[in-house]
Amino acid sequence: MRPSGRQLNEMRPASIEIDVTKHAEGSCMIKMGDTHVLCTASLESRVPPFIKGSGLGWVTAEYGMLPRSTSSRMRREAAAGKQGGRTVEIQRLIGRSLRAGVDRVALGERQITVDCDVIQADGGTRCASITGGWVALRLAVNKLIKAGDIVTDPLISPVAAVSCGIYAGQPVLDLDYPEDSEAGVDGNFIMLGNKQQIEVQMSAEGSTFSRAQMNELLDLAEKGVDELVALQLAATA
Amino acid sequence: MRPSGRQLNEMRPASIEIDVTKHAEGSCMIKMGDTHVLCTASLESRVPPFIKGSGLGWVTAEYGMLPRSTSSRMRREAAAGKQGGRTVEIQRLIGRSLRAGVDRVALGERQITVDCDVIQADGGTRCASITGGWVALRLAVNKLIKAGDIVTDPLISPVAAVSCGIYAGQPVLDLDYPEDSEAGVDGNFIMLGNKQQIEVQMSAEGSTFSRAQMNELLDLAEKGVDELVALQLAATA
Amino acid sequence: MRPSGRQLNEMRPASIEIDVTKHAEGSCMIKMGDTHVLCTASLESRVPPFIKGSGLGWVTAEYGMLPRSTSSRMRREAAAGKQGGRTVEIQRLIGRSLRAGVDRVALGERQITVDCDVIQADGGTRCASITGGWVALRLAVNKLIKAGDIVTDPLISPVAAVSCGIYAGQPVLDLDYPEDSEAGVDGNFIMLGNKQQIEVQMSAEGSTFSRAQMNELLDLAEKGVDELVALQLAATA
Amino acid sequence: MRPSGRQLNEMRPASIEIDVTKHAEGSCMIKMGDTHVLCTASLESRVPPFIKGSGLGWVTAEYGMLPRSTSSRMRREAAAGKQGGRTVEIQRLIGRSLRAGVDRVALGERQITVDCDVIQADGGTRCASITGGWVALRLAVNKLIKAGDIVTDPLISPVAAVSCGIYAGQPVLDLDYPEDSEAGVDGNFIMLGNKQQIEVQMSAEGSTFSRAQMNELLDLAEKGVDELVALQLAATA
Amino acid sequence: MRPSGRQLNEMRPASIEIDVTKHAEGSCMIKMGDTHVLCTASLESRVPPFIKGSGLGWVTAEYGMLPRSTSSRMRREAAAGKQGGRTVEIQRLIGRSLRAGVDRVALGERQITVDCDVIQADGGTRCASITGGWVALRLAVNKLIKAGDIVTDPLISPVAAVSCGIYAGQPVLDLDYPEDSEAGVDGNFIMLGNKQQIEVQMSAEGSTFSRAQMNELLDLAEKGVDELVALQLAATA
Amino acid sequence: MRPSGRQLNEMRPASIEIDVTKHAEGSCMIKMGDTHVLCTASLESRVPPFIKGSGLGWVTAEYGMLPRSTSSRMRREAAAGKQGGRTVEIQRLIGRSLRAGVDRVALGERQITVDCDVIQADGGTRCASITGGWVALRLAVNKLIKAGDIVTDPLISPVAAVSCGIYAGQPVLDLDYPEDSEAGVDGNFIMLGNKQQIEVQMSAEGSTFSRAQMNELLDLAEKGVDELVALQLAATA
C-alpha cells in the first residue's frame, strides 16, 4: 500500500558514514532512503553574548538545502537574500533538540555549530538532520574529550528524530516525499535514547486527528527511534 | 503554588471584545489575563498565485508584537529590516491552524488575512492569536454570508488554542509569562470545537517528558479549549 | 460644508486615556475622532553613541501603523523588510518635535524612546502621535522624578501638534481623512504650550498658497494647540 | 557677522551651467557657493502603475550625495544597502515640489525622473537640487516640445527653493554649512516664480520661533527666490 | 619544493563521478585533490526576460560554499542575507565561461542553470566548478538530445579551467590552498578543448609579473587543460 | 574602421584635472574621451580590523555610476538596496590594483579610501577609475608627506590601466562604448609604470582567442600605459 512497498512500521534503509569532510571537527553523511544530509559540527571560538562568562556551553544549528536537492530547482536562499520561514523553523528545531541532550555545564563555555545541508531530498530532511547532527556533535565532542579539553562527557544521551503520519488512512513510519505530500496528518518526534520525549510536533494537513491516532503514531515513532539510536551508536562506536 | 494563585487546571480570566476597529471586515480584542491581542480579518482582493483559477479560498495570518508589549522594549521588526524566526514560526502556525477549520471550496476564490498584533504580552500570545483570530475570521465571513457573497458557511468549526506545561513539576493549564519562563515542558494545543486535534507542539525546556505527562497535558488542554470555544461562540452569537 | 459637519475651526472630539499598558514607563491611547494612536514611552538602558559620556539625555521616536488601521489593508513593514519613506519621515518629525520641549541637561544621560502605533487611522496620525507621545513622555518622566532619579523637571513645556489645511477653498482645523485626501493645501503645526513654534510644514497639494492663507492656517492651529494642551494637562494632572 | 562676510539678505554667488552630460535629456550643474549639485532629467519609457492609462504624466526625483561630497567621508548608501531617512525625505520633497509646477495633463502619460547628485556639499543641497532640478526638467521638456511630442508647455512656472534661518539671533538668507550647523531655526521655502508657496518647512533647532520671525524669514526667502528664478530663466533662455 | 611534493607541472589527482543526485538533469562530483565540488545542471522552465521570444538559449551558474567546507567555519551566506563579492564574481565567471562553449541557437529558447556547491575546499574551487559544471551541462544536454528536444548538439567543445601561479618564485600548475595562500602571482585559465582561450585572469598578489612569466603560466595551463578535457570526455563517454 | 575614426593603436583624448573638490585629501576628474570619472581619495581614521596593530596601511576603493551616466537611465544602486555584481567586481579590482603599487609598511597604519564615481560613461570606466584613482591617491599621500605624517613615499610606482580588445577582427587600443559592445574579445590590463603587470583580465565575448592575439593586445596595452603614466605624472608634478 505504501508507494515504496514498505510495511506500515518499516523505516527506509538508513546509513551513516562518518568523517566525510576533512575540515570539520565532526561530520557525517546520513542517508534515510533517498534523503541525504551532510552534517558537520564546528567548534567555534566565539560564544553568543548571552553565555559570556557563564561557564555554560552552547549548541546551535543551521540548515540549508542545495538548490537542486529537490525535484525542481529551488531558489538559492543566499541569492534570495534571506532564509525562508521554513528554514528558520527547522534550524531552530534542530538546535533546540540537540541541546536537550547536552549537559551545558560539562560542555564548558564553548559553542558548537551543527550545519545540516541537504544534498538530496526525499522527505524527512529535518529528522535526518537531527539524527545525523547528533552524530557529528558526538564526534566533535569526542575530539574535545580526547584532547583533554572536556573532562565529563556532556552528551547525556543520543538524540534522534523520525517522522510518522497518517497516509491513506493508516499510520505509517518514516514518511518519504510521496507519502509526505499526501499525508493527512504529519508528525515529527524527537526523543532521547530512552524514549523520553524532547519535542512532539503533529500537524493536521487535510484531516484532524484524535488522541487514539496520536498514540498510534507515538508507538511507531518509538520503534523508529530505537532503530536510529542503534545506527548512531554503531556509527560512533 | 502558581504565581498567580490559580488552580492547576484554571485558565486566566478571558474576554473577547468584537468590532474594535472600524475598517476591518472582522476584528476583536482578546484578553487572556494580561495578554492582549488585537485581531483583524481583512478580505483581500488579491489571491496568492497558487490558487488563481482554482476556485479555492485561502486564509493566511501575520503576527507582530508592539515594541513595548513586553517587559523591556523589543526592537521593532520593521526597523530591524526583517521578521525574526519566532515571528515567522508563529504566523505560519496561526495560518495553518485557522485553515484547518475552513472549507476552502465553500469560501470560494478569495483571501482573508488575519493580523494578530500583540498590544500587551504576558505569555501565550500565539494561542490567544489563534483563538481571537478565529473570532475575527468568523465576523468577516459572517459579512460575506450576509452580503450573499458566500452561500455555504465555510467555517466548519471553531478553532481554539491553549498552552499547557509542566511548571514546578506539575501540569498546569494556560501558562502566564512567569510560568512560561520557568516551565520544564511547554506545549501548545490547537483543536477544533469537537476536540479533534489540529496541531500539537510540545517542547522540552530543561526536562524531557514521558507519554504519561503528555496525556496529562492533553487532558488540561481539552478542558481549556472547551472554555475558549464557549467564549468564542458567545462573542460571535 | 465639512464632511463631518464640523465648523471650520472645530476640532474632532479628542480624548487621552493614560496608563493603558502595564509594561511601559508611560503610555496613553489618544483618540482624535476615529484616529486612535497608542503611545508608549520606554526608558532605555542604552544611549546612542553620540551622547555617551556627555551627560545629556536623548528622546527618540518610532512610528508604525497596524496593517489594518487603514481602510484597505496595508502591507506590514516588517514583512516588506523596511520602513517606508513616509514612516521614516514621520518618526523623525515626532522625535525632533518632542526634543524641542526637553531640557537634555536636566534629563541626564538616558534615552527615552516613544513608540507611536496607529491602531485606527482617519487622518492626522502624525499630529496625534506627537500630542499623545508627549503625554507618554510626561508620565515616564514623572516616574523618574518620583523615584528621585531626576531632580529638575526636564520637560520645559507641553508639545502639541495639529493639522490644518485648505479644503474646498476654506481654511479648516484638524483634517480628517476625507478632508485630508481632498485638501489643496495641507499643513502640520507643532508648538510649545506658549504657542512658540517648533515646526511648520505646509505643502501644496494641487494648489499653491499665499502668505495670507498661511496666516489663516496658523490662526486655526493656535486655537487647536490651546485645546490639545489643555487636554494633555488634564490627562497628566 | 556671517562667517562668509555676507549681508544678512545676501545669497551666495550662484551659477547654473547647462548640458553638462551628453546622455541626459536635460542636465545642469548648479553651484550655490561651494554647494555643487549635478541635476539630470531622464525621460523614461516606463510610467508608474498608478498613472497607467490615465493620460497624466509624472515627475519624480532621486537624490544622492557622493561619499566625499562632505567634510568627512560618508558611507556610500549603495554599500550600506539602503537610502537613509534624510535621503528619502529629501527626494520626496524634490519630486513633490517639482510636480507643483507641472501641468500633468499637458505633460501626457510619460515619466521624467530628475536625479540630483551632490558633488560637493556646503549647506542647502536640497534647495539647490530643486532649483537645478527644475532647470534640467525645463531642458528635457523643451526637447519634447521641439520634437513635437508635447504641444502645450506643461511647465506652469519655474520652481525655486532657498533656505533661511536664524543664525546668531539674526534672520539670514541662504545658509551655508557653518551657519546651518549653528542655526537656531532652519527653514526651507519652495515657491513658484510668482512667489506662491509650494512648501514651507521650518524647524526649531535649539530655539523655537515666533510668527514674527517666521514672517521675517519669508521676506528673505521671497528675495532669494526672485534671484534664483532670474538665474533659471537666464540659463534656459 | 611544493608542500604536496608534486612536480611543478603536476596536477592533483582528479576524478569526476557522474549522476550523483537523482533529481538534477545532469550532475557530478568533481574532486581535484581535496577540493570537492558538487555540480548540477537544471533545466528550467522560465527563461530570463532578455531572451524571451529570441529563440536563443541561456546558460547561467550559481556558486556556493558549505559553511564548513573551509578550514574554519564561514558564515552561511543565506544567514548573512547576501552573497559576498567573491561569490558573485565567481558565479558570473562560471556562467560566462560555460556560455563560451555553447551554441545558443542550437540550444533553443531554454535556460540551464548550473549550480556549483563546494563540499570541501582546498584551493581552485572556481576552476573545479567550471570543469565539473561543464560535465553536468553535458549530461543535461545529452538528455535533451536523447528526448529529441534538441537536434543539433549545442555544446561546441568542452570547457575546462585550471589555476597556475608563481609559488616560491617558480611557476606551478594547479595550486592547492597552501600554495594559493602564499603565491605571489595567481592566475585562472579557462579554455576550450582546442586550447583557444575563453578567459585569462592573472593577478599580482605581492609581486607583479612579466610577460615572460605570463607565458610560462600559459604553458602550464595548456598542459592542465589537456588533462582535464580528457577526464571530462572519459566521464561523459 | 573604428567608429571614432581613431587608429588601431590610438588612445582617446585624455585629460586629468586635479583638486576638483574641496573636501577630499586628493581628487581629480579624469576624462578618457566621453568617459568622465570623479576620483577622490579620503584619509580615514578607522582602519579595517585585520590591520589593527599591524603597523601596515590599507588602500581600498569604491565605485559607482550616477544613474544617468549611461545612455538610458540605470536604477540607482542605493534605491535597489544593494551594489550589483558588476559594481562589486570593479571596486575590488580597483582596490587590488592600487594596493599593488603601495608599500604598506611605508604608508603606516592608516586607510585611504578611493571613490570612483562615473559622471559620464562611454566605455572603459574601470580602467579610467584605476588611472584617475592613482592620481587622487598620489595627491592624498603628498599631503601626508608634506605634513610630516609619512617619511618614506609609500607609492612605489604609478598604476595605470587600459582596455584593449578585438573589434571587427582587429586588435584595438582603448575601447569606447560602441567598440566595447561589439568586441569579440575584451581585455583589461593594469600595470606599474615599468610595465610589470598587476592584473590581466581577458574575456571572450563571442569569439575565443589565441595566444598570438593575446600578445598583440599586450603590445597595445603597453603603449597605452606609457601614455597614461606620462599623463599621471604631468598632472601630479
- Indicate the pLDDT class of residue C80, thresholds 50, 70 and 90: confident
Among A173, A122, A165, smallest CA distance to A8 is for A173
Residue owning grid cell 530505537: A226
Q: How far apart are CA D163 and CA D142, in angstroms?
A: 28
HSE, CB side, 13 Å, CA atoms: give it for residue C15: 7
Contact D142, D59 (CB under 8 A): no
- Environment class of residue F7 by beta-carbon count within 10 Å: exposed (0-12), middle (13-18) or buried (19+)? exposed
Q: Is the pLDDT of residue F24 over 90?
A: yes
Please give the pLDDT value at position F206: 79
Please give the pLDDT value at position A46: 81
Please give the pLDDT value at position F163: 98
Question: Is D40 near chain F, with CB under 8 Å?
Answer: yes
Instruction: Kindly determine whether residue F200 and residue E201, on different chains, have CB atoms separated by under 8 Å.
Output: yes
Q: How far apart are CA C33 and CA C4, in angstroms?
A: 10
Q: Cell triple for residue C207?
A: 494648489
> Could you state, in order of their start, the residue ranges of all structural domains in chain F?
14-235
> Which whole number is the average pLDDT over C163-183?
96
Please give the pLDDT value at position E1: 87
Instruction: Kindly determine whether residue C201 and residue D200, on different chains, have CB atoms separated by under 8 Å.
Output: yes
Please give the pLDDT value at position E43: 97
Q: Is the pLDDT of residue B188 over 80?
A: yes
**In this predicted model, what pLDDT tens digit does every residue of A167-176 receive, in sequence order?**
999 999 999 9
> Chains with 3 or more CB pairs closer than 8 angstroms to C?
B, D
HSE, CB side, 13 Å, CA atoms: give it for residue A171: 18
Give me the residue from F24, F42, F79 closest to D62, CB to CB: F79
Q: Is the pLDDT of residue D207 over 90?
A: no
Chain B residues touching C33 at Cβ < 8 A: none
Among F176, F62, F183, F181, smallest CA distance to F111 is for F62
Annotated binding-site residue numbers of E for phosphate: 86, 124-126
Please give the pLDDT value at position D81: 84
Among B147, B146, B149, B139, smallest CA distance to B107 is for B149
Instruction: Kindly determine whether residue F120 and residue D64, on different chains, have CB atoms separated by under 8 Å.
Output: no
Nearest CA in chain E to F104: E206
Among F105, F106, F124, F126, smallest CA distance to F116 is for F126
Please give the pLDDT value at position E76: 95
Residue F126, annotated as binding a ligand? yes
CATH 3.30.230.70 fits C14-235, yes or no: yes
Question: Is E67 near chain A, with CB under 8 Å?
Answer: yes
Question: Is B230 near chain A, with CB under 8 Å?
Answer: no
Chain D residues touching C203 at Cβ < 8 A: 96, 198-199
Please give the pLDDT value at position D201: 96
| Amino acid letter, residue F175 | L
Q: How far apart are CA A121 and CA A63, in angstroms?
A: 13
**In this predicted model, what pLDDT tens digit does every residue of F42-64 receive, in sequence order?**
998 788 999 899 999 999 999 99
This complex has an ipTM of 0.95
Residue F86, annotated as binding a ligand? yes
Element spanning F45, H or E: none
Give me the residue from D42, D78, D82 closest to F64, CB to CB: D78
Chain A residues touching B89 at Cβ < 8 A: 85, 88-89, 92
**In this predicted model, what pLDDT tens digit does every residue of C110-133 receive, in sequence order?**
999 999 999 999 999 999 999 999
Query: Can you say how many angstroms the Cα of residue F145 is from the centroid of all Cα atoms in its chain?
Result: 23
Rg (C-alpha) for chain D, rounded Å, is: 18
Enumerate long-range contacts of D7-10, CB under 8 Å, 24 or more apart: D8/D170, D8/D171, D8/D172, D8/D173, D8/D220, D9/D172, D9/D173, D9/D220, D9/D223, D10/D173, D10/D174
Residue E206 C-alpha, separation from nearest chain F C-alpha, in angstroms? 7
- Indicate the pLDDT class of residue F81, thresholds 50, 70 and 90: confident
> In this structure, what are the phi and psi dihedrals at residue D164, rounded to the nearest 5 degrees?
-135, 160
Q: Cell triple for residue F207?
A: 569569439
> Which whole number is the average pLDDT over B167-192?
95
**In this predicted model, what pLDDT tens digit does every residue of C86-114 receive, in sequence order?**
999 999 999 999 999 999 999 999 999 99
Among F1, F91, F29, F95, smallest CA distance to F57 is for F95
Q: How far apart are CA F109 and CA B131, in angstroms?
A: 61
Q: Cell triple for residue D8?
A: 544678512
Beta bridge pairs of residue A171: A166
CA distances from C170 to C174, C214, C217, D125 (A): 13, 12, 10, 34
**In this predicted model, what pLDDT tens digit does every residue of C178-231 receive, in sequence order?**
999 999 999 999 999 999 999 999 999 878 999 999 999 999 999 999 999 999
Instruction: Kindly determine whether residue D22 and residue F120, on different chains, have CB atoms separated by under 8 Å.
Output: yes
Please give the pLDDT value at position D187: 96
Q: What is the pTM of this model?
A: 0.89
Please give the pLDDT value at position A205: 83
Please give the pLDDT value at position D80: 87
**In this predicted model, what pLDDT tens digit does every residue of C26-39 receive, in sequence order?**
999 999 999 999 99
Residue B125, annotated as binding a ligand? yes
Q: Is the pLDDT of residue D1 over 90?
A: no
Helix (H, G, I), strand (E, B) or coil at B172: strand
Tens digits of pLDDT across chain A (237 residues): 899 999 999 999 999 999 999 999 999 999 999 999 999 999 987 889 998 999 999 999 999 999 999 999 999 999 988 899 899 999 999 999 999 999 999 999 999 999 999 999 999 999 999 999 999 999 999 999 999 999 999 999 999 999 999 999 999 999 999 999 999 999 999 999 999 999 999 999 878 999 999 999 999 999 999 999 999 999 999
Percentage of the residues of chain F whose pLDDT score is greater than 70? 100
Q: Which of C182-196, E114-128, F40-54, F127-141 has the lowest mean pLDDT?
A: F40-54
- Indicate the pLDDT class of residue B132, thresholds 50, 70 and 90: very high
Please give the pLDDT value at position C224: 98
Please give the pLDDT value at position D194: 95
> Which whole number is the average pLDDT over E157-178?
97
DSSP secondary structure letter of residue A76: P
Question: Is D210 near chain C, with CB under 8 Å?
Answer: yes
Q: How far apart are CA C126 and CA C117, in angstroms?
A: 10
- Indicate the pLDDT class of residue C46, thresholds 50, 70 and 90: confident
DSSP string over D157-207: S-EEEEEEEEETTEEEES--HHHHTT-SEEEEEEEETT--EEEEEEEESSS
Please give the pLDDT value at position F193: 96
Percentage of the residues of chain D whose pLDDT score is greater than 90? 93
Give me the residue from F82, F197, F211 closest to E208, CB to CB: F197
Please give the pLDDT value at position F205: 83
Q: Cell triple for residue D105?
A: 495633463
Q: Is the pLDDT of residue B158 over 80?
A: yes
Please give the pLDDT value at position B1: 87
Chain F residues touching E196 at Cβ < 8 A: 204, 208-210
Q: How far apart are CA E115 and CA E28, in angstroms?
A: 11
- Indicate the pLDDT class of residue C61, thresholds 50, 70 and 90: very high
